[in-house]
Structure 1
């Protein structure tokens, strides 16, 4: 280990955050965020911080859920084709790729709080552009801006939570990130039943409108402050670029696990279900697709809340194995039901029963995803990356996630038009590979300090 790494590790072991004790966050913060802060009750303060930054993933979820209840109305009002709406649905992921690339470096240079502030601005602008859209070009621009902000949120929020959380609560508090995403999705589904799509877009700015002032009342990440206080001379772009090559080769185990989990999270097809759930339910014979979609959103919130409670008890690895295995079986049921429907009459009772099986399979898939593959990859990614490569390694992992998310959302409608059974078969095969990946490569990180996890990889 180099002198720099030894010094950083020693500094990170200092008691920046102790439950029930006084602590001072440090003398340096980004100029945007103000001076250092003192907080008496650590556990209450950490929870308050988590609840404030959770508005970011709520925004993330609202963006993901927006396209499902609005597809029919937007298509009719603006005269979009299926392909054009697919572009609209998926462009948030393209924007998120750019945000993911930038997120690590933004979070390193101006801090976690400054990064969240920057992420909020394009989200607000993007929603306003969509609300006043006259044609597809406005929709595309707004969706790209939203995605850029969401890409930053998706990296920065779990990292911030992991860096401020006490060791015994890190898994549960880290899972709040995904729980908040599901709450955002459910809110989009719910409000989409009652308000017109332009009004729904205006409502989309509310999480960021609340988040921005909230950031002034929470402390900066102590680990980021520790790093900035010790390595000021290493903050140039040249050193970052030189560090990128070194970090990728030396810390390959941490990064490949983080990337692998986040890729499997998306290629399992969950975004296809979330973005186009109303279409999927209508294909299964459910007449009120939007109402069924709302049910999916509620189930996802409940299942993710259960995972938040389980992650520090059952452990990360066990939840991932149960989750990926359950998703594989669920997707097999959905694929088989859609295949079988091609061979029976639409007027027969068997056709209706197969429709029920396909819906049950989709619901089960969402439940199993929410129990493990939804929240846990973000928790593990925030745990295994050491402070000296967290910005770059986290950006690589988050970018990989958003590339796969875009691939799934862009192709989902087209694949469903080709073959519903074939689409879910593809997702099922990916989930089966995910079971093997988790079983063979993913370590258990429950109950370990961040520095202990990161040293074990070295």
Structure 2
């Protein structure tokens, strides 16, 4: 599942955690909106009333399927993946929208746009439903960039890393809530079975958009627009300090100095993101873009988009409950993951996660094509099904502790200051582009072929064998992390610039340790000088 991106510039020097908690709460609503929207569709397209409304009637195929309404493979691909097409363009528009109207009002506008898309999805016409998915996708794409951008520029520095992880956690909570609501309404025979899960999204948009109206604008954005007085007032609110306090003046000076340094580096255009500079802009931008691509290529969204229908086709009883179980695993292990990022390290977690996912997915594929196959008389091997479900949960656990949250942390850290906003926009757009491609292609890879039947569609009919593909792409994730992801744990943004300038990827861990040791030695030396000066003065 896509995760929340995060800029790591800005931030507010504030010892109080009050505003950090407020910012985290509203980041959570952005993440819940994001995760709930992407998680709802998997349950909705499996509901009887939704299929009766939007599906096609298929006659009985003796020995195969009974007569009834079904969703054609092409329509299934379209309805699931079209939201990601909207989010791709929304992500690209986030940078100009955030720079033109501001982070705060950009988020409010995105919530209004998203609500319009949700409203259109309550209609019973196919074309209107699809248009609603696209418009909601635009809103989600904008929010997926603007909310973390606002958070990173306004949250206390000492809480910024945690907030990054909380945003990803909120996405998983949103997906879990979607599964719970869908399970609660799935047996209803009226339109409310699918309209209720969709309409719940109005609440998330209202809380996020309405709450943002009462929060201050990002002081960094205001200074970027040379609105010094408004920036000072905003910073005073965020730091809970008087407007003329030394703390506010000191923070204003730091932000203005960072802006001056950013402008001194030259242009910050999209073209500058790909230039070969001494700071390796091109390498760092492409690393972020491909890191997001590989996150999607882990195959995680196969479970969260198509898990319900996949478990149905595998003969597993009550697939809605199994979907809730996988979402609980995802949420619980994300909590574990966000606590490991600064302890284990980014690079190591990505390597461990890729290896673990690869192993689990190959096990699922092997069990699925051997002992897990449904017999000719319709019976299933319960032991094999339990193994299949268990390793799907292990696979999700490895993702949630590694590639889920870590990919977003690294994306926000590695881009140079003067291109960070645009590089993040490109990375998020990459995430949604691959999200769309995989969401659209998966039914053609997995579903049974209906070629030769009325309105039939030819498919690869891989079913559980698709996990051989996901296992192989996780091998690609392992190779990519080894050759392109440096270890940035405990480094400042300036130190990350030096790391790229003076180290290779594979020796980054050693160079990082040397840099931290040198910094510690320097701090001890300065402290010793200060202590001796105090003794002389005494």
Question: TM-score when scaled to structure 2?
Answer: 0.73
CA RMSD of aligned residues (A): 2.5
Aligned to 1:271: 301
- Residue 107 (1) aligns with residue 150 (2): no
Cα distance 1:153–1:457, how it changes in 2: closer, same or farther (>3 A)? farther
Aligned to 2:74: 83
Distance, in Å, in 1 between the alignment partners of 2:330 and 2:175 is 9
- 1:347-362 matches, within 5 Å, as 351-362=381-392
Alpha-carbon distance, 1:165 to partner: 4.3
Task: Give the alignment partner of residue 441 of structure 1, picking from 475, 481, 484.
Answer: 484
Aligned to 1:408: 438
- 1:201-350 matches, within 5 Å, as 201-229=198-226, 243-249=269-275, 250=277, 251-341=281-371, 345=375
Distance, in Å, in 2 between the alignment partners of 1:81 and 1:364 is 31
Q: Secondary structure at the match of 1:313?
A: helix
Distance, in Å, in 1 between the alignment partners of 2:172 and 2:488 is 24
Distance, in Å, in 2 between the alignment partners of 1:378 and 1:92 is 21
Higher gyration radius (CA): 2
Q: Secondary structure at the match of 1:388?
A: helix
Alpha-carbon distance, 1:347 to partner: 6.0
Distance, in Å, in 1 between the alignment partners of 2:84 and 2:295 is 14
Distance, in Å, in 1 between the alignment partners of 2:116 and 2:33 is 13
Aligned to 1:394: 424
Q: Secondary structure at the match of 1:311?
A: helix
Q: Secondary structure at the match of 2:417?
A: coil
Q: Secondary structure at the match of 1:54?
A: helix
Aligned to 1:45: 19
Alpha-carbon distance, 1:424 to partner: 1.2
Alpha-carbon distance, 1:445 to partner: 2.2
Distance, in Å, in 2 between the alignment partners of 1:451 and 1:220 is 26
Aligned to 2:133: 143
Task: Give the alignment partner of residue 19 of structure 1, picking from 14, 21, 30.
Answer: 14
Distance, in Å, in 1 between the alignment partners of 2:475 and 2:155 is 33
Alpha-carbon distance, 1:87 to partner: 0.7
- 1:52-201 matches, within 5 Å, as 52-73=26-47, 74-79=50-55, 80-131=71-122, 133-195=123-185, 196-201=193-198
Distance, in Å, in 2 between the alignment partners of 1:451 and 1:156 is 24
Equivalent pair of 2:12/2:153 in contact (CA under 8 Å): no
Alpha-carbon distance, 1:254 to partner: 1.8
| Residue correspondences, number | 418
CA displacement, residues 195-250 of structure 1 (integer Å, 9 cap, x when unaligned): 31112211111111001121133343444444443679x99xxx98x822223214
- Residue 430 (1) aligns with residue 473 (2): yes
Where is the helix percentage greater, Structure 1 or Structure 2?
1
Distance, in Å, in 2 between the alignment partners of 1:341 and 1:89 is 31
Equivalent pair of 1:167/1:448 in contact (CA under 8 Å): no
Q: Secondary structure at the match of 1:214?
A: helix
Cα distance 1:379–1:164, how it changes in 2: closer, same or farther (>3 A)? farther
CA displacement, residues 304-332 of structure 1 (integer Å, 9 cap, x when unaligned): 11112222222222221221111111111
Distance, in Å, in 2 between the alignment partners of 1:44 and 1:446 is 26
Equivalent pair of 1:100/1:151 in contact (CA under 8 Å): yes
Alpha-carbon distance, 1:403 to partner: 0.8
